[in-house]
Amino acid sequence: MHWAPQLVLRALLTTPVAALYVGWPMYEQLPDVALVDTSYLFTLASTTYRSSINGSVAYLASELPKWLLFDKASRKFTGTPTSGDVGAFQVVLTGIDLADGLSLSNTYLMLVATGKAIVASADAITATVEHNGHTNGRNGLVVTPGKPFSISFSRDVFAHSDEVTEYYGRSQDRTPLPSWAHFDAGSLTFSGVVPEVVSSIAPSVLYTFSVIAAQHAGFASAVGTFELVFGAHLLSTSADASVKINGTFGDALSVPV
């Protein structure tokens, strides 16, 4: 029976200790600024809080102003502020580890402002992607594994860009860019070296990036997105304009590619 304490000690040492921690804080996600009399939407990243034992995390928001709602299933903040709501306010964001019920709460700032709406032009972003090389037929730039890439955007992709004070580059959910990509806010340039693919038969990989304009530092005013697509085998197009195909209903159609 001399081995029993050793077994107990070993079990204690190898049993994981559950903990909830901040994965990517809400303020780093650049919450959208809310404009007076304008419908508001901001989606919280699923990795805002994380579980040390990889458990699922549920989200709750409290101390919200009357105009603002939070849907815990979709992690979306929605509502329409009025002129009486202008200014910064605090919300409490709580994460709950569904595996053991542990919770963690933090307070974050959100903002209601007046002024012109900054809007990202999807057409201008697509045109920029097409100008930089072959595409996947949408707003995806097809790049080569192991090779450098660089794509720069004009400030004109945002309406009322003269009111923009800050630019940010993020992944689609406003978490950090992957380690192989970099954003230069001065030139609005995304650059880096495309990762190598691990298999000649692996499917293509798609990364969605966000270029974000802000009138107020730390709060997004407009977001434009584009994609980088790479893999061992890819189909791309060099077309930089829409292709029109005419046909007659009921007749066979053949188009050379």
Residues in the chain: 257
The span from the CA of 158 to the CA of 164, in Å, is 9
- Mean pLDDT check: name the lowest of 66-70, 119-123, 209-213: 119-123
**And the tokens for 160?**
């009322």
CB 158 within 8 A of CB 124: no
Reference 114, options 183, 9, 41, 35; nearest CA is: 35
Go through the domains of the chain in sequence order and give each one's CATH number. Answer: 17-113 (2.60.40.10), 122-230 (2.60.40.10)
- Is residue 2 over pLDDT 50? no
Query: Which pLDDT band holds residue 231 (cuts at 50, 70, 90)?
Result: confident
- pLDDT at residue number 12: 42
Q: What is the pTM of this model?
A: 0.80
For residue 182, the cross-strand partners are 191
Average pLDDT over residues 142-163: 94
Distances (CA, A) of 212 to 87, 193, 222: 21, 22, 6
The span from the CA of 192 to the CA of 170, in Å, is 14
